[in-house]
């Protein structure tokens, strides 16, 4: 779907179209590209959409986590490095960060084979018919890994064939005609599982399109990743006279309401139309969707997730893709686990705790991995925060671990009390973090 500059200014979002650094169109709500904004390609330009901001210290902790994973990949053997590179790229994508780097279809196939081997027991055959350039090959590869994982898990496949044809990657496997599909969506609140939701977000980021599995008529299911499409990946549609007048492909994927389709009375889209009529040209929100009345109808959009939900997706992704970082050396694995736990705490989760005897054993193992140079005291209390987190914070803050009866504290150096890694645990005026 092509949008005129006038139509772009009517979108029900705080958005602006950029040509390089110059704004060529904007909606009335646009202010600036604050942290958490999401960019979409529009031919050679870029449409930037603002989202709700998150915890003010979340972004630096998230960036530190992503940088830690990136740095680790350079220290590992080739096959394991490929897996960690895919993990790092996937997490950057769901966090709304850009992923740079160019490669070839051969790089994609090599990454994909490494990832499939770590996530599944599938036999993989490669059919590299065509060779072509690919942007961010690790991202494309992880989409294929997700295809393969679903083939094994949902269709009980035992082997797959991975091909590069034209400018597409195709994964094929034997499956019964009644093999079930999987419901997914770009937005966290509207999908059942992380994997294929990630596949769509990842494809959006590299200008590609995901084609879900279809039967080829010969007993195989085939899923495809088509590269170099570069369509507007924002789900948005113009509704007129109770029907979808025009829409992006992303809208088609998210709603199955193709251009020409009637909008069901009482459905999500219909409620957006009604809300837009009452809003008199302002943005109306209905259960996560947004709408605005324009000159030629009502624009309805499915906005990108807010920064806080994308940060939660990073944590979900680490859990979902844990096979990609199994076998990582203790030092980086401990640091990454600690940073993930701190990020989760900022988003409302509780820190994991371990029994006192377990804490004493693990603390000795983790101290060297964290680079802690101060002594680790013996703790006789019932339990305390996971040693990976406790000792990571101790190493970062330059303070000391102290035991007071059955309690364990981390004294924080004065010049580190505003560090984003520590601020979430410290009340104003406090000089220590209680770990027990």
**CATH code for position 137:** 3.30.565.10
High-pLDDT (> 70) share of the chain, %: 92
The pLDDT value given to residue 55: 59
* In a domain? residue 338: yes
Rounded Cα–Cα distance for residues 419 and 435 (Å): 18
Q: Residue 317 — very low, low, confident or very high, per pLDDT cuts 50/70/90?
A: confident
- Average pLDDT over the chain, rounded to whole? 85
Same domain? For 122 and 39 the reply is no
Q: Are residues 116 and 96 in the same domain?
A: yes
DSSP E strands: which ranges in 66-208?
A: 102-104, 123-128, 133-135, 159-165, 168-174
Give dist(CA 377, CA 327) in Å, integer. Answer: 29
Residues 149 and 273 placed together within one structural domain of the fold? no
Question: What total number of domains does the chain contain?
Answer: 3
Residue 4 pLDDT exceeds 70: yes
Same domain for 217 and 151: yes
From CA 404, how far away is CA 363, in angstroms rounded?
Answer: 17
Residue 393 is assigned to a structural domain of this protein: yes
H or E segment and range at residue 432: strand 432-434
Q: 373: which 2 tokens?
A: 């140079």
**How far is CA 144 from each of CA 115, 117, 212, 230, rounded to the nearest angstrom?**
9, 12, 11, 19
- Token look-up 């364990």 returns 408
Could you tell me if 122 and 38 lie in one domain? Answer: no
Tell which wins on pLDDT, 42 or 186.
42
Burial class (CB in 10 A: 0-12, 13-18, 19+), 6: exposed
Cβ-proximal residues to 216 (8 Å cutoff; 6+ apart), any chain = 172, 222
Backbone phi, psi, residue 311, to 5°: -65, -40
Q: Is residue 317 part of a domain?
A: no
Q: Answer yes or no: are the C-beta atoms of 154 and 182 closer than 8 Å.
A: yes
- 210 and 263 together in one domain: no
Nearest partner of 39 among 66, 13, 4, judged by Cα: 13
Closest to 201 in 3D by CA, of 347, 67, 305: 305
State both tokens at 398: 């330059």
Question: Which residues make beta-bridge pairs with 214?
Answer: 222
| Selection from 270, 266, 308 nearest residue 289 by Cα | 270
Instruction: Count Cβ atoms below 10 Å from residue 146 Cβ, excluding itself.
Output: 28
Which of these three, 189, 209, 226, is where a domain ends? Answer: 226
- pLDDT above 90 for 355: yes
Task: Give the end of a domain, one of 205, 226, 247.
Answer: 226
End-to-end CA distance of the chain, in Å? 57
pLDDT band per the 50, 70, 90 thresholds, residue 62: confident
Q: What is the pLDDT of residue 244?
A: 96
Q: Which two tokens stand for residue 57?
A: 């210290």
Domain assignment present for residue 307? The answer is no
Residues 221 and 244 in one domain: no
pLDDT value at 30 more than 90 = yes
Domain edge (last residue) among 252, 282, 301? 301
Could you tell me if 166 and 282 lie in one domain?
no
Residue 65 domain flag: no
Closest CA to 287 of 271, 274, 298: 271
Average pLDDT for 422-436: 82
Note down the domain range covering 424: 328-434
pTM here?
A: 0.74
Residues 109 and 205 in one domain: yes
Question: Would 396 be classed as within a structural domain?
Answer: yes
200 and 240 part of one domain: no
- What's the alpha-carbon Rg for the chain, to the nearest Å? 24
Which positions ≥6 away from 54 have C-beta within 8 Å? 35, 36, 306, 307, 308, 311, 347
Report the sign of the C-alpha dihedral through residues 137, 139, 140, 142, in that order.
positive
Together in a domain, 359 and 414: yes
Q: What would the pLDDT profile of 264-299 be if each residue is shown by its tens digit? A: 999 999 999 999 999 989 999 999 899 999 999 999
Assess whether 18 and 87 both reside in one domain.
no
Contact predicate 239/245, CB 8 Å: yes
Split at pLDDT 50, 70, 90, the class of 330 is confident
Is there a domain that residue 323 lies in? Answer: no
| 315 found inside a domain | no
């Amino acid at each position: 779907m092509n949008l005129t500059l006038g139509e772009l200014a009517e979108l029900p979002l705080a958005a602006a179209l950029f040509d390089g650094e110059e704004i060529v169109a904007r909606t009335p709500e646009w202010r600036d590209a604050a942290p958490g904004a999401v960019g979409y390609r529009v031919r050679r330009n870029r449409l930037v959409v603002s989202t709700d901001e998150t915890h003010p210290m979340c972004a630096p902790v998230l960036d530190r986590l992503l940088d830690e994973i990136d740095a680790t990949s350079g220290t590992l053997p080739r096959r394991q490095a490929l897996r960690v590179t895919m993990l790092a790229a996937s997490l950057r994508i769901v966090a709304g960060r850009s992923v740079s780097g160019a490669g070839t279809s051969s790089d994609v196939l090599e990454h994909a084979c490494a990832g499939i081997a770590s996530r599944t027991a599938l036999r993989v055959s490669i059919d590299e018919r065509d060779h072509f350039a690919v942007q961010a090959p690790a991202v494309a590869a992880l989409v294929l890994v997700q295809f393969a994982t679903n083939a094994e898990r949902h269709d009980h496949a035992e082997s797959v064939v991975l091909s590069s044809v034209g400018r597409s990657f195709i994964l094929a496997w034997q499956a019964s005609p009644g093999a079930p599909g999987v419901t997914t969506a770009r937005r966290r609140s509207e999908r059942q599982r992380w994997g294929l939701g990630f596949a769509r977000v990842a494809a959006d980021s590299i200008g590609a399109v995901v084609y879900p599995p279809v039967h080829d008529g010969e007993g195989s299911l085939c899923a495809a990743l088509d590269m170099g499409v570069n369509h507007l990946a924002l789900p948005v549609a113009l509704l007129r006279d109770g029907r979808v007048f025009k829409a992006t492909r992303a809208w088609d994927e998210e709603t199955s309401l193709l251009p020409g389709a009637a909008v069901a009375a009482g459905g999500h889209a219909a409620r957006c139309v009604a809300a837009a009529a009452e809003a008199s040209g302002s943005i109306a929100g209905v259960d996560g969707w947004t709408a605005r009345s324009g000159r030629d109808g009502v624009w309805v959009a499915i906005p990108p997730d807010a920064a806080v939900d994308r940060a939660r997706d990073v944590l979900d992704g680490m859990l979902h893709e844990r096979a990609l970082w199994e076998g990582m050396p203790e030092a980086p694995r401990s640091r990454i686990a600690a940073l993930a736990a701190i990020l989760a705490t900022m988003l409302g989760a509780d820190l994991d705790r371990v029994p006192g005897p377990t804490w004493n054993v693990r603390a000795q193992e983790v101290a060297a991995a964290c680079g802690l140079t101060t002594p680790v005291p013996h703790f006789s209390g019932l339990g305390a925060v996971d040693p990976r987190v406790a000792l990571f914070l101790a190493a970062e803050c330059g303070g000391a671990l102290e035991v007071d009866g059955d309690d364990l504290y981390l004294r924080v150096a004065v010049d580190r009390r505003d560090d984003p890694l520590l601020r979430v645990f410290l009340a104003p005026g406090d000089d220590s973090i209680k770990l027990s």
